[in-house]
Amino acid sequence: MYPSIAGRILVVKALVISLAYYLMTVNGIPRNTLSDMEKNVRSFIWSGRKGQMAWSRAILPLTEGGSGASSVKLRYKAIKVGWLKRWWRPKPDRPEWAWVANDLLDRCAIKRHKEEEPSAREWITQSWQINSRSESLPKSLKEMVKTVRKYNATISNMRILMDQRLDMLAFHHPFAKNKHLQYNSKIMKCIQCEHGARTVRDLLQITTDDGRRNVEGCPPRVPGVKSCSEKAAEPISRIRDTWNPNQETPQRHDLWHTPRRLRRNKKADPLTSLVLFNPDTRSKHCLLGTIRIFGRFSGHKSGPRDPFQPDRSPARIDTRTAPSGTQVTISTDGSAVHNGWENTTAGVGVWYADRCRRNISMSLTNHGAELGAILEALRQNECNDLEIEPDSLTSLKAICSDAEKYEDRNWLDVQNADLLKSILIKLRTRPARTAFKWVKGHDDNYGNNEADKLANEGRESEETLRLDDE
């Protein structure tokens, strides 16, 4: 009795991949052995004959036209990414070997100047590269460094807290234009050795009145030569605005929630109470929690690139538009037929009042009709205070509760990510207040029933919702 292709794939997953996964996680695997295993798995699945489809196609899921076969190489890549996640895991769950890895990388660093030992921090938070051919660097750590460069791992945060800015290293700052800064000058050596400057906080202290006093060992003041306090301001001025402690970016706004409002929103039940959206993009993570893998742009640890290339600015409140102060209540709803199939037809409805010219009814090309209705309501009200009444609790939670979690996952496996991104951009740039109140669908709520009628009409409408805000 000979197993089918699906049976062979099941045997590979149950016996070969499961055992190899454990051994590769613990000990790694040589490149030659990895290639031989991949070749043997491919030969076993195709019974030693030419495959019925390309192997790159066969390893895709069934939903994407593949056969669901397992690739040992892909599993090993996933294991190496898992190593990075454990390496940068915040306390108290961080493994002990993470500190050893940082120390080994610091010893193999290619630096422009000698630094004191207390300045050694996380490798990912500094701009210096390492000598990957060093004999003191273990092979597993070399593979982790290659994985960092290959998948553009970097620190990524919309808005950095002030404590995080001040705790970054003063020298080799990953977001500073310090290519031509003379570290080996007498003044710079004095700042590092005599003043003990290690972080941006230390540099900022030296530039203040208390830090301008000369310490023992400072070079004598010479006319025309910058003092320690003046020289300490140079590295700070070279830091990019989003990380510069002297810059508040984005500017603080009254719409940001206070700690009291944050606690109130956290305890609020979306089924019974009004949920006020918080446009503040400040991260609640520690510095290690802001590290992102699979970035679209090359990070400061990637291969050859300009480490100061401009990144896309985060969404911020448009201060050029003044809020109108007008309170508007809107009912939104979506309608879809044959949802989940290729012949899906969807429509959105936005209701203001009976026979109001602003009522919206249009079609939608994807399945997120409820989100599409909310997006169109935000587009029609740039400066009005809004109270939006959707009947989809899933959409409400995705916008007000789960958006930060989705962004941390880089929107992987998130349905209707394009609509959610457009909604968040609108919410975070509006100069007016936005609140959401869930209402029960197909009940006695008059506004929701009217919005549902508009959504049903929208399925047949020639006007289509556009997605151009991402």
pLDDT digits (tens, 9 = 90+) for 219-263: 666 666 677 888 888 888 888 878 888 876 656 677 888 788 888
Q: Is position 332 within any domain?
A: yes
pLDDT for residue 116: 45
How many CA atoms are closer than 13 Å to the CA of 209, on its beta-carbon side?
A: 0
pLDDT digit string (tens) for 255-292? 888 788 888 877 777 778 888 888 877 767 777 888 88
Judged against a pLDDT cut of 60, whether residue 212 lies above it is answered with no
Q: Kindly report the number of other CB atoms within 10 A of residue 250's CB atom.
A: 22
**Of 63, 82, 101, which residue constitutes the final position of a domain?**
82
- Using pLDDT thresholds of 50, 70 and 90, give the confidence band for residue 331: very high
Torsion of CA 71, 74, 78, 80, to 10 degrees: 120
Task: Round to whole Å and give the CA distance between 330 and 427.
Answer: 15
The strand pair at 345-351 and 109-110 is best described as unpaired
Is 343:429 a contact under the CB 8 Å cutoff?
no
- Over residues 141-169, the mean pLDDT reads 84
Judged against a pLDDT cut of 80, whether residue 390 lies above it is answered with yes
Q: Is position 120 within any domain?
A: no
Is 426:299 a contact under the CB 8 Å cutoff?
no
Domains identified in the chain, total number: 2
CATH code of residue 335: 3.30.420.10
Average confidence score pLDDT of the chain: 81
Q: Is position 48 within any domain?
A: yes
DSSP string, 363-406: EESSS-HHHHHHHHHHHT-SSSEEEEE-S-HHHHHHHHTSHHHH
pLDDT for residue 308: 45
Judged against a pLDDT cut of 80, whether residue 157 lies above it is answered with no
58: containing domain: 5-82
pLDDT for residue 183: 63
Task: Round to whole Å and give the CA distance between 51 and 95.
Answer: 43
Which range, of 114-118, 135-139, 234-238, averages the lowest pLDDT? 114-118
pLDDT for residue 468: 60
pLDDT digit string (tens) for 184-195? 677 777 887 778
Q: Strands of 434-436's sheet, edge to edge?
A: 275-276, 434-436, 385-389, 327-337, 345-351, 360-364
Task: Round to whole Å and give the CA distance between 419 and 353.
Answer: 25
**Of 82, 106, 135, which residue constitutes the final position of a domain?**
82
- Using pLDDT thresholds of 50, 70 and 90, give the confidence band for residue 366: low
- Over residues 159-169, the mean pLDDT reads 83
- Using pLDDT thresholds of 50, 70 and 90, give the confidence band for residue 351: very high
Q: Is position 45 within any domain?
A: yes
Q: Is position 366 within any domain?
A: yes
**Token reading at 45:** 């699945």
Most confident of 24-38, 126-140, 455-469: 24-38
Percent of the chain with pLDDT over 70: 85
* Residues sharing a CB contact under 8 Å with residue 301, sequence separation 6 or more, in sequence order: 124, 129, 148, 149, 153, 154
Q: Is position 314 within any domain?
A: no
Q: Which residue has the tokens 């029609």?
A: 380
pLDDT digit string (tens) for 415-427? 888 899 999 989 9
Q: Kindly report the number of other CB atoms within 10 A of residue 126's CB atom.
A: 23
Three-class secondary structure of residue 335 per DSSP: strand
The torsion angles phi and psi of 389, rounded to 5 degrees, stand at -115, 90
> Helix 446-458 vs helix 369-379: angle between axes, to the nearest 10 degrees?
100
- Using pLDDT thresholds of 50, 70 and 90, give the confidence band for residue 329: very high
Q: Is the dihedral of CA 350, 352, 355, 359 positive or negative?
A: negative
Q: How far apart are the first and last CA of the chain?
A: 55
**Token reading at 370:** 């409820």
Rg (CA), the chain: 28
Judged against a pLDDT cut of 70, whether residue 153 lies above it is answered with yes
Q: Is position 169 within any domain?
A: no
pLDDT for residue 276: 85
Q: Is position 385 within any domain?
A: yes
**Of 62, 82, 102, which residue constitutes the final position of a domain?**
82
Q: What is the pTM of this model?
A: 0.72
398 or 343: which carries more pLDDT confidence?
398
Judged against a pLDDT cut of 90, whether residue 90 lies above it is answered with no
With residue 74 as reference, give the H or E element that holds it: helix 72-87
pLDDT digit string (tens) for 43-70? 999 988 888 889 989 999 888 888 889 8
319 or 22: which carries more pLDDT confidence?
22
H runs (alpha helix) in 296-354: none
